């Protein structure tokens, strides 16, 4: 992931701090180099948390410039000063804190002009290039990104799908697959991401986290749309789809349900809820001794003893003969 060491956290938690795009590219190169040195096969997945992150530790990379927020109102105290004084509650509004592209878009709207083309073009510009382009459109914008830095010194950013797209394109030469961590399972967002990334890098494989951290029932999808979601993603190029913590939630749910019934119905709960269901659905763990490899161990013992072993696991006395 493209988060900063020391502040890294789950992609669905707050307070995420990114490293610069170039910094993460160097990480990807280092990972590939180490795999090459060890002659080890590797599928390298580059994840970006740029949709929901709120800070970045450096403004060194021009790829990041259109997404870094700054003060657009002169005379307002810096954010870190407002936070220390406790006057930061309305600081965003007072300072006009926003990205440079958004500040220019606001000025263009005030002139009655459509900012759509500007916002698209600005995604590929450094701050100096944006300033020059804005001046050419008659927009004299005050912008100070240092005054918007946090008390830790981090630059503040506007997380977005567009930021993820720009990072994905930059990471593509150094990764096998790109993963954009998202806040909700939204097909339109995945479609935008996939189409724009693959327009720039047609071969790029993509990854998607079907996360249990999402409240899927509040995502605005019908059950039918949920059912087709992974296939819809697959058509877009999302080759690796996964549910983080699926096993954790499955185990917790089933143990909880079983424990409650066991407290009421004893062994009958185990037989009815588990053993009979294993038999009904032909789940191999019904005969867990065989499933765990006991027959293989017995075969190895016979080889070693020349077929004279009398201590076989699956010999007389094994309860699995009941099945």
Q: Are residues 81 and 147 in the same domain?
A: yes
Residue 285: inside a domain, yes or no? yes
Specify the pTM: 0.84
Tokens of 298: 């017995």
The label of the residue with tokens 């954790």 reads 248
Give the residue from 188, 212, 244 where a domain finishes.
Answer: 244
pLDDT score at 305 = 74
Element (H, E) at 197: helix 187-200
Mark residue 307 as left, alpha or beta (left: phi above 0; alpha: psi -120 to 50; beta: remaining): left
The mean-pLDDT minimum among 76-90, 133-147, 163-177, 293-307 falls in 293-307
CA distance 83 to 66: 25
Q: Are residues 135 and 168 in the same domain?
A: no
Residue 202: inside a domain, yes or no? yes
Residue 118: inside a domain, yes or no? yes
- Rounded (to 5) percent helix, strand, coil in the chain: 50, 10, 40
CA distance 269 to 267: 5
- Residue 260 reports pLDDT greater than 70: yes
Q: Are residues 32 and 108 in the same domain?
A: no
Residue 180, φ and ψ in degrees, nearest 5: -100, 115
Instruction: Tell me which residues are annotated as active site.
Output: 10
Q: What is the pLDDT of residues 162-195, one digit of tens each?
A: 999 999 999 999 999 999 999 999 999 999 999 9
Q: Are residues 44 and 186 in the same domain?
A: yes
The label of the residue with tokens 């998607």 reads 208
CA distance 232 to 173: 26
Residue 251: inside a domain, yes or no? no
Residue 47: inside a domain, yes or no? yes
CA distance 161 to 136: 28
* Contact partners, residue 233, CB within 8 Å, separation at least 6: 187, 190, 208, 241
- The count of C-alpha atoms lying within 13 angstroms of the C-alpha of 236, restricted to the half-sphere facing its C-beta, is 24
271-302 burial by CB neighbour count: b if 16+ within 10 A, else e? eeeeeeeeeeeeeeebbeebeeebeeebeebe
pLDDT confidence band for 35 (50 / 70 / 90): very high
Cα angle, residue 125 at apex, residues 119 and 131 outer, rounded to 5°: 85
Element (H, E) at 177: strand 177-180
Q: Are residues 151 and 175 in the same domain?
A: no
pLDDT confidence band for 204 (50 / 70 / 90): very high
Give the residue from 216, 244, 272 where a domain finishes.
Answer: 244
Q: Are residues 75 and 149 in the same domain?
A: yes
Give the residue from 197, 212, 244 where a domain finishes.
Answer: 244
Q: Are residues 115 and 134 in the same domain?
A: yes
Q: Are residues 152 and 170 in the same domain?
A: no
Residue 233: inside a domain, yes or no? yes
Q: Percentage of residues in the chain with pLDDT exceeding 70?
A: 92
pLDDT score at 16 = 87
Q: Are residues 220 and 88 in the same domain?
A: no
* Contact partners, residue 151, CB within 8 Å, separation at least 6: 79, 80, 83, 84
Angle between helices 223-236 and 187-200 (to 10 degrees): 0
Q: Are 123 and 50 in contact (CB under 8 A)?
A: no
- 90-116 mean pLDDT: 94
Tally of domains in the chain: 3
Q: Are residues 149 and 168 in the same domain?
A: no
Residue 7: inside a domain, yes or no? no
Q: Are residues 111 and 43 in the same domain?
A: no
- Its domain, for residue 202, covers 17-52+164-244
Residue 253: inside a domain, yes or no? no
Strands of the 155-156 sheet, one edge to the other: 17-18, 55-56, 155-156
CA 183 to chain centre: 9
Which among 231, 247, 251, 228 has a CA at the least distance from the CA of 239? 231
Q: Are residues 45 and 170 in the same domain?
A: yes
């Amino acid at each position: 992931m493209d988060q900063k060491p020391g502040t890294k956290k789950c992609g669905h938690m707050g307070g995420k701090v990114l490293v610069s795009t170039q910094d993460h590219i160097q990480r990807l190169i280092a990972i590939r180099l180490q795999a090459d040195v060890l002659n080890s096969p590797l599928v390298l997945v580059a994840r970006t948390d740029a949709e929901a992150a709120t800070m970045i530790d450096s403004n060194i990379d021009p790829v990041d410039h259109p997404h870094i927020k700054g003060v657009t109102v002169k005379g307002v105290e810096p954010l870190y000063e407002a936070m220390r004084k406790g006057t930061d509650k309305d600081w965003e509004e007072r300072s006009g804190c926003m990205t440079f592209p958004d500040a220019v878009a606001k000025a263009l709207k005030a002139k009655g002009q459509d900012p759509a083309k500007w916002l698209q073009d600005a995604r590929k510009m450094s701050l100096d290039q944006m300033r020059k382009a804005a001046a050419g459109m008659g927009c004299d914008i005050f912008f100070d990104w240092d005054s918007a830095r946090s008390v830790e010194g981090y630059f503040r950013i506007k997380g977005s799908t567009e930021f993820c797209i720009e990072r994905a394109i930059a990471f593509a030469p150094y990764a096998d697959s790109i993963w954009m961590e998202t806040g909700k399972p939204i097909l339109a967002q995945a479609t935008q991401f996939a189409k724009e990334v693959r327009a720039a890098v047609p071969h790029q494989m993509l990854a998607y986290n079907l996360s249990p951290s999402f409240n899927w029932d509040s995502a605005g999808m019908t059950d039918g749309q949920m059912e087709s979601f992974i296939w819809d993603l697959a058509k877009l190029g999302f080759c690796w789809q996964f549910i983080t913590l699926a096993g954790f939630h499955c185990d917790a749910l089933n143990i909880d349900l079983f424990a409650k019934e066991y407290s009421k119905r004893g062994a009958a709960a185990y037989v009815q809820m588990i053993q009979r269901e294993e038999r009904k659905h032909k789940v191999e763990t019904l005969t867990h001794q065989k499933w765990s490899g006991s027959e293989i161990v017995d075969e190895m013992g016979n080889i070693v003893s020349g077929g004279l072993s009398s201590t076989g696991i699956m010999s007389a006395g094994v309860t699995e003969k009941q099945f």
